[in-house]
Structure 1
């Protein structure tokens, strides 16, 4: 394997393609924030703004500044998004955050989930790490504590909305909650170092909760459980496996294992990764399928056999991180394999960036898009920057924003 070639490709994609694509096409210089609904050429096809993506974009561009040094264009993007969040994306009536807003910041949708709050939290945590502004750390702490409170006691949620399922009939819980909170906890600990021991205790509790979603016989992670921690296989909802989600979880656990100095957790994370990857791999067309049924029965979600950009970036992030943590060549070989598939199928050599959504056979959906309510400058930049960091150690050539 040519590590120099691989590193050059990753570095070039990150700094010459993906980052410039979003700075050029996404930044809203009039209202602040970012537009993420971009077509193949980078033209805006919807002016509504995703609150998730405001937080994710701020987080990722502050992270770039922290990793490579402050670039004024990166900081402008991050500052614009976080200011837009603070000004427009919080519902003053209860402190919860919106899901989508207009270009000008007027509220459109608000959902029961805590994901807008989670991305807002990590954005402010990273801003504190970059700027030293303690008001950002305070905001991050406040929303982190709010999310934990809602997680521990859903009745405490100030946003009163009809539950997804009628709880008197079937009360369920989702893997997504302890999973995202584990990652947020890890990021908070990186910024709020004086409270690291408290974050470690919370992380250990969340890991215990995450383990309850693992199917003992197959080792696969299920997306949903009953509130009493029991499976409900009589419903398709109780049999959903999202391989990409499980793969993302595996590297969340790996990061935590190294942080918590827990070698057994790292082994567990590796096993979750391989079980998910092998279950989701499409042997016929290549790539990784979106959803599968635990027992290989039909899946309700009609997009179940599509190939999504983020699933493949998570496989790449996991592979390169597991290589960094274990030095097992198998992970580097897998990284090269998935990277090759992704460049052949997702990467657009004509207009830049990656297609968001492919059919099972690897062709883009028509008309193709580069951005969406759920797709923006997050998963791909996170993967490329982590990969560049780790690969640069192999060639002993650290990179910074002054020499790209």
Structure 2
């Protein structure tokens, strides 16, 4: 998917793919590995096996993603031949590496991949819950002490990933799953009326634009992570709470009633968000919204959730896919027109779209069988 593009060889807007010279995104490669192997496992189980490329991608990650083994940090950007270019001071490249290794373990049965997944998972937990200094983030005296919803969201997704079809891993990370769910729930603020992206360490709203920041797509994605957790816990009250507070409410506040689509960022007090791209319509919030509402409908049979799924799907499939050249655009302007013509970049890769399509297809199949 990565293509080198020089100034002397312009790419037509309709065929634009990844404008990253010859570098590869390690975070995205991990996402690709997870998604591709998951799809491959499904293909094998249904007799539709077509390729084993994901294992080659996994071997590439093992050889090159870890910046300086035995250190656990993973590169965010690599050269095409695997040399590290950039390392982020977050947990996210490592999280997607863990996903890829776990899926490879489940697809191949090779214990090397499971060891890699568990070792990295335990390192991530240490960074998050014990000591973050290994991430390399400077401890600045003036920096606000906040909890971002992205961290427990990502960990809860990993708990779900590693625990699928593996009772031992489910037991190992059961306490972590409960901790993650409680950490996410504390982002529900103002008497349960909205989800804030950042809160204080004690779970209260923080002052300023950082505290007022909302990301509707993130709330919806957290919603279906939490819904899967509630399903596993057989907790109907939590299911109902999550669907209302992390799906329906964020969607109605984040939907652009004039032009359609989900805003990228919002301000809880209706001030102008500080993010320059706040009113753009991105591929991934719409992908996550479709998963959330279809999953919610499959659990409740509430027709309102099915209507919301159809509303998002209609907007999404009318605007994001390039019907002539294939793949999806990632970035639309407020009016829903293509703003950036490339199909891939440091943040848009082979993850949200195939995960959405695969999960929605599986949910729809189950609904059809049940009916």
TM-score scaled by structure 1? 0.84
1:226 correspondence with 2:200: yes
Output one character per residue of 1:184-226: Cα deviation in whole Å (capped at 9) or x when no partner.
0011111532232232221111111112211133532211122
Alignment pair present for 1:84 and 2:76: no
CA distance in 2, matches of 1:204, 1:177: 14
In structure 2, the gaps of 5 or more residues are 5-10
Choose from 288, 295, 298 the match for 1:324. 298
Q: Is the 8 A contact 1:320 1:331 kept in 2?
A: yes
Q: Decide which moves more: 248-257 or 201-210.
A: 201-210
Counterpart of 1:238? 211
Equivalent positions of 1:266-277 (< 5 A) are: 266-271=239-244, 272-277=246-251
SS of the residue 1:128 aligns to: helix
1:250 match = 223
Distance 1:218 1:265 in 2: 14
Greater RCO, CA 8 A, separation 6+: 1
Which of 193, 196, 210 lines up with 2:184 in the alignment? 210
Deviations 1:285-305 (A, max 9, x none): 001000000111111100000
- Deviation of the 1:122 alpha carbon: 1.1
Matches of 1:40 and 1:143 in 2, distance apart?
39
Match of residue 134, structure 1, among 91, 99, 111:
111
Matched residues in 2 for 1:285 and 1:124: separation? 41
Give the structure 1 partner of residue 237 of structure 2: 264
Return the alpha-carbon distance in structure 2 between the equivalents of residues 395 and 283 of structure 1.
Answer: 31
Name the CA distance, whole Å, in 2 between partners of 1:188 and 1:175.
20
The corresponding residue for 2:320 is: 346
Inter-partner Cα distance in structure 2 for 1:38 and 1:133: 43
Q: How does 1:194-205 map to 2 (within 5 A)?
A: 194-205=168-179
- Cα distance change on mapping 1:230 and 1:38 into 2, 3 Å: farther
CA distance in 2 between counterparts of 1:294 and 1:65 reads 42
Give the Cα separation in 2 of the matches to 1:160 and 1:338. 39
How many pairs were matched up?
359
Aligned equivalents of 1:125 and 1:152: distance in 2? Answer: 22
2:345 is aligned with 1:372: yes
- Say yes or no: does 1:50 pair with 2:22: no
- What is the CA distance between 1:307 and its match in structure 2? 0.2
Structure 2 counterpart SS, 1:300: coil
Which residue in the other structure is 1:4 paired with? Answer: none
CA-to-partner distance for each residue in 1:141-167, whole Å, 9 max, x for gaps?
111111111110234x4243324xx34
Q: Does 1:172 align with 2:146?
A: yes
Residue 333 of structure 1 is matched in structure 2 by 307
Is residue 262–residue 286 contact of structure 2 (8 Å, CA) maintained in 1?
A: yes
Note closer, same or farther for the CA distance 1:81–1:189 as it changes in structure 2 (3 Å cut).
same
- Give SS of 1:365's match: strand
1:257 and 1:266 in contact (8 A); partners too: yes
Question: Aligned to 2:158, what secondary structure does the other structure show?
Answer: helix
Residue 19 of structure 1 aligns with which residue?
A: none
Aligned equivalent of 1:119: 96
1:38–1:372 CA contact under 8 A, matched in 2: no
* Aligned residues: CA RMSD: 2.2
Distance in 2 between the 1:382 and 1:345 partners?
18
**Is the 8 Å Cα contact of residues 240 and 291 (structure 1) preserved in structure 2?**
yes
| Structure 1: 4+ residue segments shifted above 3 A | 25-28, 37-40, 70-74, 394-397
